[in-house]
Chains A and B, each alone.
Chain A
Amino acid sequence: MICPTPVNLSRYFNARSSTYDDTRHLGAANAWGNSFPAEELPFGKVMTLASVPFHMPSRGGEADNIEALGQIVELPNLPPIKGLALLCHGEMGDQALAIYGEGINGEGRRFVAVANGWLVEQNVTVQDHGYACSHLHYNDGYELPALRPVLWCWKSEWEPFPVKRLMLGINPLFHITAITCFHEQSGFDNLDSH
């Protein structure tokens, strides 16, 4: 049985993608100052996509995701990891990111994660691996439903091995909101459900 454990990413957050209704002017999820509506995201709770539970950042409206600039994400002591899931989005369309999982015995695994583009048109159906908001925030102080921002689940599974840290590649257009590891014991039991 594969069990999920969240990784606390708060100390790595270096980008803000969401704003509240009274802070839309701070939007910085793209060059046009758009942003996710923070009111619609379950900050501080668990968001489940494609059967994967993700622990959302504690607060919106401030640094709430990792812009991938080569960070090294230390993982807690876990049993051998069987896979990984990212809650992520691509700025300017679909984005790819190389990630290297470094093991404790010098072994490692390299993989490429793909984040779908964060904006979909209003009438597009988002499957269960995406969490679509109802509207988009504009930095001029308004919101519209014509384009909807989406957080996507990307996941990969492999033969179990003990991973010590994740070394992210560099792609400033790849954003990670949460990471969940899969292994044989759950570390997710105490989290609130969304």
Chain B
Amino acid sequence: MNRAVSTTWIRTRVVSSIFGNLERLVESHAPRSARLLLGARWSFGLPLHHRRGELHEYSFPLNPTDFLHALAARTGVVIEHHPTGESGVLYDYLREAGAAIVAVDSFFLPYRPAFSRVHSNRTIIVKCTSDPSQVWVEDSWPPSYRGPLLVSDLERARHSSVPRVPHLEPVFSGHAIGGEWFSVEVKPICLANPRDWAVSILWTLLAEASTSTVNADAQYGPDAVRQLIDNLSAGKCSSPEERDSTFQEAALLLRTELSARVYLCSLLQACAGWIHNPTLERAVFRYSASLSHLEMARDILIKATRCEDHPLYRACITGGLCSFRAAEERLIRLLEDQLEKLLQRPSRMQSNNSAFPQGDLYA
């Protein structure tokens, strides 16, 4: 008997705090297209061994073309990462631009339930107020909070070693912060012909998704998914500590990969509409539903960082990843097929596999 749950069941997906906050800020510039503007990346980036410890709650997905660069070039969302810095720069920016995304240790945020109890990495939206001693913050982490915060409290929260205490915060801690923040700007895209734009971005994404490659930071593409499945298979870890660390890193990796795909689906859906391709639309819908497998793998990894290593947990994790991989491969094949068919039709556009034609489409 098949006792697996159908992929037609979809729940509201939780994205990482950086993606959630980016969506809110991009929304203020582009209310109807924020989600698709954040979706112009489709790969799977498995960090090489020497970079695995760097993953954290608000990591961007690794990409053969740097994620931030790719997003800026493809959809005009320009995210600037300020890894450290003098506090004055952030507050000057807030006065000028209004809002920024700021990395914090929630241990120092008085409005959090676990204030002074649990160290935890995440990002929040910070806005300036007329009172220089206060900022306005929007923290969507449950229980969510919108309200004022003393600048002195924010400053404490921005500089912390965020120590990892596994029994209190097994997943989202351990990444030291020293004033890190992000600015976001949305540059207008000139869409003279949405169909041509859609075909072009679909080719770019298809090439990215279907190509397995390696650089100094990570392994990418279908081979990277296979490698992760292999890494998580039974018997690969020599000690419980190594297992916990492997599971934590994998959970963080899947969190960012799933987040990126939530937005990717919005972009693919829009493109399918622009090229009037109901076959692709249906396939994207099915793919979106199948992300439940990736989601379950992520959540059981999180559960397994704390619980005894039940053999069924590993089976669920690797089974979920295999199902996700199969769904991804199906969509890649279908997209390839549909784009090839488009090439055979008369079109004003010279479709090819080259890089995104920025000059044609950006103001």
Contacts and interface: CB of A to CB of B under 8 A. Distances in A.
Given A31-B303, A121-B143, A167-B1, A69 B14 contact: no
A173 B300 contact: yes
B168 interface: yes
A169 B11 contact: no
B117 to A, nearest CB: 6
Interface in A117-161: 119, 121-122, 138-140, 142, 144, 146-147
A114 interface: yes
A170 B143 contact: no
Contacts of A96: 5, 9, 11
Interface stretch (B100-108, B148-156, B307-315): B307-315
B294 to A, nearest CB: 13
B296 A98 contact: no
Nearest to A95: B11
Contacts of B299: 91-93, 173
Nearest to B300: A172
A92 B303 contact: yes
Contacts of B143: 121-122, 146-147
A28 interface: yes
A170 B312 CA distance: 8
A69 B3 contact: no
Interface in B116-154: 117-118, 142-144
A112 B167 contact: no
Interface residues of B, number: 35
Nearest to A102: B1
B168 A139 contact: yes
B3 A70 contact: yes
Report which residue of A31, A96, A147 has the largest number of chain B beta carbons within 10 angstroms of its beta carbon: A31
A169 B310 CA distance: 16
Contacts of B300: 172-173
A99 to B, nearest CB: 8
B9 A114 contact: yes
B178 interface: no
Nearest to B312: A69
Given A31-B302, A31-B305, A112 B316 contact: no
Contacts of A32: 168-170, 306
Contact of A168 (B3, B6, B118, B303): B3
Nearest to A108: B1
B163 to A, nearest CB: 14
B116 to A, nearest CB: 11
A173 B298 CA distance: 11
Contacts of A170: 3, 312, 315-316
A122 B113 CA distance: 11
B12 interface: yes
A94 interface: yes
B110 to A, nearest CB: 13
A100 B4 CA distance: 10
A70 B312 contact: yes
Nearest to A100: B1
A121 B142 contact: yes
Interface string B304-331: 0111001011011000000000000000
A171 B303 CA distance: 12
Interface in A69-127: 69-70, 91-100, 108, 110, 112, 114, 119, 121-122
B168 A173 contact: no
B3 A98 contact: yes
A162 interface: no
Interface of B: 1-6, 9, 11-12, 14, 113-114, 117-118, 142-144, 167-171, 296, 299-300, 302-303, 305-307, 310, 312-313, 315-316
Across chains A and B, which 3 residue pairs bring their CB atoms closest together, nearest first? A169-B3, A146-B113, A92-B299
Interface of A: 28, 30-33, 69-70, 91-100, 108, 110, 112, 114, 119, 121-122, 138-140, 142, 144, 146-147, 167-173
